[in-house]
Amino acid sequence: QVKELVLDNCRSDDGKVVGLSSDFENLEFLSMINVNLLSVSNLPKLNKLRKLELSDNRISGGLEVLAERTPNLTHLNLSGNKIKDINTLEPLKKLPNLHSLDLFNCEVTMLINYRESVFTLLPQLTYLDGFDADDQEAPDSDPEADGDGLEDEYENGEEDDDDEEDDLDEEVIDDEEDEDDDLEGEEEEDGVDDEEEDEEEDGEEDEEDEADDDLPRGEKRKRNVEDEGEEDAEEEEEDEDD
């Protein structure tokens, strides 16, 4: 029941991949990139095969086998092989469903009027090397299909994360500034209270001094003498008690 089989970078034995047989009758996709294939003559009968990847091998001809073994092929990739002439591609006419053919890095692509010649030879083709006859790119070659869209999304996700981190940092800084403002406010209040207390004490002392200044000089002296006399009397009483 296998529908897809990838054998990339395996090594073929005399152009044949061991184990690949017609038992894979339900196979729809087969990839044999860089397996040192010299031809496709040893391919098994795969009636349901739609896509065949044969890039980076040493195939130079013998493509008539594809019409016999893979009659329903729609996509064929022969990039990086030894195909040099347009006539080598003529057997592909017998693949009526073939609408995409890739020949990148084959010598045939260097020929004058290469694209026009291939589209004329194979009228069933829609895309050659990823583009149609009007140079419109095939849908399968869109940037999103190649994974570029995922990279952009990842980068945007990182930017969003960076923005969120910046916002968090700003919030932390704001909170620290608020705490500093509160502490400064408390210190200012404490300073005001201390100043008020000092002012009150200074005021009381000033009031006493003013009261003494209002008395005549003689009464001030008398009052001081009386105060000293009272203190001496108290000291004498304490001595007699002893």
Is residue 142 one of the residues assigned to a domain?
A: no
> Phi/psi of residue 135, each to 5°?
65, 30
The whole-number average pLDDT for the span 7-12 is 84
Q: What confidence score (pLDDT) does residue 149 get?
A: 44
Is the model more confident about 149 or about 54? 54
Residue ranges with strand state E in the chain: 4-6, 29-31, 51-53, 75-77, 100-102, 127-128
pTM value surpassing 0.85: no
DSSP 109: G
Do the strands 29-31 and 4-6 form a parallel or antiparallel pair, or are they unpaired?
parallel
Is residue 178 one of the residues assigned to a domain?
A: no
- Residue range of the domain that includes 68: 4-128
Q: What confidence score (pLDDT) does residue 1 get?
A: 78
Give the model confidence (pLDDT) of 80-137 as tens digits: 999 999 999 999 999 999 999 999 999 999 999 999 999 999 999 999 999 999 999 9
Is residue 124 one of the residues assigned to a domain?
A: yes
Q: What confidence score (pLDDT) does residue 231 get?
A: 54
Q: What confidence score (pLDDT) does residue 204 get?
A: 53
Q: Is 114 helix (H, G, I), strand (E, B) or coil?
A: helix
CATH of the domain at 32: 3.80.10.10
The whole-number average pLDDT for the span 226-240 is 53
CB 46 within 8 A of CB 24: yes
Is residue 162 one of the residues assigned to a domain?
A: no
Give the model confidence (pLDDT) of 183-232 as tens digits: 555 555 555 455 555 555 555 555 545 445 554 454 545 455 455 555 55
Q: Using CB atoms within 10 Å of the CB of residue 67, give its burial: 0 to 12 exposed, 13 to 18 middle, 19+ buried.
A: middle
Tell me the one-letter amino acid at 203.
Answer: G
Position 13 confidence tier, pLDDT thresholds 50, 70, 90: confident
Instruction: Return d(Cα 218, Cα 138) in angstroms, integer.
Output: 121
> Of the given ranges (15-24, 76-85, 125-134, 168-177), which has the lowest mean pLDDT?
168-177
Question: For the chain, how many structural domains are there in total?
Answer: 1
Is residue 106 one of the residues assigned to a domain?
A: yes
Most confident of 6-20, 156-170, 198-212: 6-20
Most confident of 6-10, 50-54, 238-242: 50-54
Instruction: Say if residue 32's pLDDT is above 90.
Output: yes
> Phi/psi of residue 41, each to 5°?
-65, -25
